[in-house]
Amino acid sequence: MECIMWARVGLMGSVALGSVFWAQKNKTETSPYELKLIQVLFRHGARTPLKSIPDVLEAQWVPQLLVAPAHTEIDYMVTDLQGGPRPPAPVEDSYRAKILTGGTYPGQLTTLGMQQLYDLGVRLRKKYIQEEPFLTPPFNPKEVYIRSTNIVRTIESAKCLVAGLFQQEQAGVVSILTDKAENEILYPNYHGCKLLKRLIGHRWGDSSTLPDIAADLQSIQRALGVDPHQHLDFILIRDDMVARESHGLPLPTALENWRSIVEQRAVDMICHIYEPSKRQNLQLCVGPLFHILLNNIEDKIQGTTSKPDRKLFLYSVHDTTLMPCLMALGVFDMKWPPYAADITLELYQHRQTNQHYVKVSYIGQDQKIPGCSDVYCPLHEFKEALAVYALPDERYHTLCDSVDDHPKL
């Protein structure tokens, strides 16, 4: 499939996904690298499904599944990027126009999901407060920047992570920043980027007609007893299946035998949709986000930031953010990112040479990025690797509006 062929070689000519794990140094040794900045992109936690598989055993998505644990509560507010009122949220509005069996809305963070993000916060606390005293408890808005997509599950996920990271201790209100839907760059924005919609928007539907995927889809629809005219695809099936399994809700019996095929075909679909061998596709998916990540690093090194005390950037995003990021980084493992998965970028400075390095991890495992000579990637190599995809805002918008130059493929 598209991703496998591309990932084996990668744009940099590197080998086999680039996910070489680094042996951890003895904790008693003083590292030659001094931590300077952390940036974390994380998926929201477990949630109600976006849609239920039609014509099958209904799961009861009752309100009791969405109760917030007391230890995840903090004092927070949601604003736009300038600190003004929260923008309208059309994606969230679309969820709330529907009700699942049991009475809850699609796409809502559950108690389990809240705990998963709290646990991720605890993991970050152990690493960056307890083992290495880098962040200063309690929560300090001068040190921590938090941005989320303007969707309730990602906003609540950010809140729960901060609660775990700082154990509900805060020296000021936690501000979670969001942007207008048409300007959102924390996920591939088909509505805000005309060229992205032109290049890959149609590939979602096309992916279900690929011979192998179509044959398996027909077989699973027959096994489930779903009307062949019902719209169904493997991403939808996987979404409902994983949501049910995570919460201990019943699965249609016929689905039990299809679990591994559903997982594989959902990834095959996403590889076809993003078509990562075409650089511009990934540029339009993650380019502005990569530009921000690189800018944050450069501002820290040059001392040009207006927030010199900032040490941590948190970005609350989606599986559809992490996958193109992993593809662009050359470390996509052909598995759908689980709830609460994270990509973490750490900026280091060598204590002797003063040279800067970036280390990338995915779900706690260090990754060797194609184009980097080591897991501790020299900054110039890291910047070259990301420059293939990074797009400044002006260039991104120019490309997005250039649909006339790109006939539908």
Residues with catalytic annotation? Answer: 44, 319
Structure confidence at residue 7 (pLDDT): 52
Residue 260 lies in a domain: yes
One domain for residues 262 and 292: no
Which of 354, 399, 406, 400 is CA-nearest to residue 379?
354
156 and 259 share a domain? Answer: no
CA 50 to chain centre: 17
pLDDT in tens, 195-224: 999 999 999 899 999 999 999 999 999 999
Whether residue 136 is found in the same domain as residue 181: yes
pLDDT at 15: 37
Q: Evaluate if pTM is beyond 0.75.
A: yes
Final residue before a domain boundary, out of 273, 289, 306:
273
Tokens found for residue 229: 């005219």
Cα 89 to chain centroid, rounded:
19
Answer yes or no: is 61 within a domain: yes
State phi, psi for 341 to the nearest 5 degrees: -65, 150
- Shared domain for 106 and 12, answered yes or no, is yes
| 78 and 183 share one domain | yes
Q: What distance lies between CA 139 and its chain's CA centroid?
A: 23
Are residues 210 and 104 located together in one domain of the fold?
no
Number of domains in the chain: 2
Is residue 69, in this structure, part of any structural domain at all?
Answer: yes
User: Are residues 245 and 287 part of one domain?
Assistant: no
State the Cα–Cα distance between residues 158 and 26, nearest whole angstrom: 32
Domain boundary among 273, 300, 326: 273
The confidence score (pLDDT) of residue 306 equals 84
Cα 96 to Cα 253: distance, rounded to the nearest angstrom: 29
Are 153 and 282 members of one domain? yes
Query: Residue 193: inside a domain, yes or no?
Result: no
- pLDDT at position 367: 98
Would 142 be classed as within a structural domain? yes
Tokens 């009752």, residue located: 62
Read off the CATH number of the domain in which 110 is found.
3.40.50.1240
Q: Render pLDDT for 319-367 as a digit per residue (tens, 0 to 9).
A: 999 999 999 999 999 999 999 999 999 999 999 999 999 999 999 999 9
- Domain of residue 230, residue span: 201-273
Do 150 and 235 belong to one domain?
no
Residues 153 and 28 in one domain: yes
Instruction: Please name the helix (run of DSSP H) or strand (run of DSSP E) that holds residue 359, with its range, or none.
Output: strand 356-362
Tokens 């099958």 belong to which residue?
Answer: 56
User: How does the average pLDDT of the chain come out, rounded?
Assistant: 92
Of 62, 64, 153, 65, give the one whose Cα is nearest residue 100: 62
Domain match, 108 and 231 both? no
Flag whether 409 is in a domain.
no
Confidence (pLDDT) at 305? 83
User: Could you tell me what percent of the chain has a pLDDT over 90?
Assistant: 86
- Tens of pLDDT, residues 220-251: 999 999 998 898 999 999 999 999 999 999 99
Write out the E strands in 196-303: none
Tokens 């969405």 belong to 66
Q: Which of residues 247, 273, 299 is at a domain's end?
A: 273
Predicted confidence (pLDDT) per residue in 4-28, tens digit: 645 544 444 443 344 444 444 444 4
Q: Which residues contact 220 (CB under 8 A, 6 or more apart)?
A: 237, 254, 255, 258, 261, 262
Distance CA 3, CA 269 (A): 10
Nearest to 286 by CA among 364, 184, 380, 360: 184
Query: Residue 349: enclosing H or E segment and its boundaries?
Result: strand 342-350
Question: 405 falls in which pLDDT band (50, 70, 90)?
Answer: low
Asked if 175 and 304 sit in the same domain, the reply is: yes
DSSP state letters, 282-345:
HHHHHHHHHHHHHHHHHHHHHT--S-TT--EEEEEE-HHHHHHHHHHHT---SSPPPTT-EEEE
pLDDT at 404: 65
Pinpoint the alpha helices (H) of 34-183. Answer: 90-95, 111-125, 152-166
**Which band of pLDDT confidence, cut at 50, 70 and 90, is reported for residue 391?**
very high
Query: Distance (Å, rounded) from C-alpha 18 to C-alpha 390?
Result: 19
For residue 194, tell me if it sits in a domain: no
Paired strand residues for 41? 315, 343
